Structure 1
Amino acid sequence: MQTLNIAAYKFVSLDELAERQEAVRQELAQHGIKGTVLLAEEGINLFLAGPADRIHAFLSWLRRDTRFADLEVKESWSSAQPFRKLRVLVKREIIRMDHPAIQPAAGRAPAVDAATLKRWLDAGHDDTGQPVVTLDTRNAFEADVGTFKNAIDWRISKFTEFPQALLAHQEELQGKTVVSFCTGGIRCEKAAIFMREAGVANVYQLDGGILKYFEETGHAHYEGACFVFDERRALDPALKPQVDAGTANA
């Protein structure tokens, strides 16, 4: 039986985190679903896997809360369960940046969808004629598995290093349209907001990240595979597990 893998996040104000943590854990355990759910006052972030009917049952339960009614989910399939256990954790942030003033729930940075980014990269510029660059907001080891061709990569080792890296390299972004990207959208969303507040004029996030880009456009302008934090290690542009993440080629 094929295993359905889902990734999703939403920046939304949450309270009563301990009670929510226990309710989510019980619902997932009841369905035999494994993976990780992070909860924080700023929202939810989840990577889960299990039989498709049980995953869909959990999502239906979660979406009964109107705050999650529009939760967007990225799906992929695997022949085996890629997670060893279930973890539901309460954190200070669902993706740590250590800049509490950055509050995506208060308003998102502008986003471009996969088709628009592909069209811009095909042309080499955006709809106004301004040069387009992609900016990898992931860790260096993730970028080594695969990234967009000619992407800017500041070789950070953890996301909390991104703000300082931006301040050190901000000048190279001037006069360009910058599209930040990451695996599923959560890091590039925070990064885009930080860059706009730091004064980078033309910044977008890639809506849904690399996984959504693969789903909608395939491997155009992307070299390699996409690193994922489970036992699959990396997904190719067809969203299938990459046999050897270290030598992945699109």
Structure 2
Amino acid sequence: MNPVLNISSYLFVPLPDAAALRDTLHERAVSAGLKGTILIAEEGINMFLAGDADVVREFIAELKRDERFAPLDPKESWSDHQPFRKMLVKVKNEIIRMNMPAIRPASGRAPAVAPETLRRWLADGKDDTGRPVVTLDTRNDFEVDQGTFRDAIDWRISKFTEFPDALRQHKAELAGKTVVSFCTGGIRCEKAAILMRNEGIENVYQLEGGILKYFEMTDGAHYDGGCFVFDQREVLGANLDAVPLVHGAPPALSSIAEDGNDDLR
């Protein structure tokens, strides 16, 4: 059994004390021997952590004693080595940068679809009302090339801040369909789904927990390839084990877990 527990988790929740939280969480994580990246902003928290399973779970349990973090629901996977080189905790303007300050998931999120439900919809080619279903990949083009849902819409964006303009150029293509936005762990597709609803697209869902939760809760059907992750494992297959990159990672991606760059999260 692989001995290192890897978790990813995020939560949109108002954190006016983000700067103070940064110091507290950094001290706790370092003292516990954990490694990874935690991003904190006024809009919430985004985490990628790895270490001994008991230690990681105790860290999350302690964090959830603060009632603001009680809804955290980490996605788990395992590795045979520590995939991070250091422990970083950073305060950002956004935990996922979209440059759309009016998009506030903590004030109300778009409807979500469970992985098991999406699998059934994709098998049927329609949702429970009979409307055609399409999946929309909100990740950057390099990530999409590592793997994506079969026949997913891919606007070839290079970073998430390009998504709003891409949506406005292509939203006519989504008319009359049920659109399920997805990303690695759910954070990008959560903002994307809100924006789409604000832009007048009516039948929009976000994939709850993203690709990683889909892998965890289903057999990975209707998904081709792997899922790029932001640590040294780089790509995970449907069984949540590391698989080879389709092609080599550019330098900007190879150190993303260490430099705290959140454009691609």
Q: TM-score range by the shorter chain?
A: over 0.9
Question: Residue 172 of structure 2 corresponds to which residue in structure 1?
Answer: 171
CA deviations over 1:194-230 (Å, ceiling 9, x no partner): 0000011110000000000000112200000000011
Runs (4+) of structure 1 moved beyond 4 Å? none
Displacement after TM superposition at 1:16 (Å): 1.6
CA deviations over 1:66-111 (Å, ceiling 9, x no partner): 0111211100000000001111000000000000000000001000
Is 1:121 aligned to 2:127, yes or no?
Answer: no
Is 1:32 aligned to 2:29, yes or no?
Answer: no
Question: Residue 14 of structure 2 corresponds to which residue in structure 1?
Answer: 13
Unaligned 5+ segments in structure 2 are 248-265
| TM-score, structure 2 as length reference | 0.92
Displacement after TM superposition at 1:147 (Å): 0.1
User: Percent identical across equivalent pairs?
Assistant: 62
Letter in 1 for 2:231: D
Write out aligned runs for 1:124-163 (5 A): 124-163=125-164
Question: Residue 192 of structure 2 corresponds to which residue in structure 1?
Answer: 191
Look up the SS of the partner of 1:245 in the other structure: coil
Is 1:238 aligned to 2:248, yes or no?
Answer: no
Letter in 1 for 2:13: V
RMSD: 0.8
Is 1:22 aligned to 2:18, yes or no?
Answer: no
CA deviations over 1:15-34 (Å, ceiling 9, x no partner): 12221100000000011100
Displacement after TM superposition at 1:119 (Å): 0.6
Return the alpha-carbon distance in structure 2 between the equivalents of residues 17 and 126 of structure 1: 40
Letter in 2 for 1:75: E
Is 1:45 aligned to 2:46, yes or no?
Answer: yes
Question: Residue 221 of structure 2 corresponds to which residue in structure 1?
Answer: 220
Number of paired residues? 246
Displacement after TM superposition at 1:56 (Å): 1.2
CA deviations over 1:138-189 (Å, ceiling 9, x no partner): 0000000000000000000000000000000010000100000000000000
CA deviations over 1:5-47 (Å, ceiling 9, x no partner): 0000000000122211000000000111000000000000000
Return the alpha-carbon distance in structure 2 between the equivalents of residues 10 and 70 of structure 1: 8
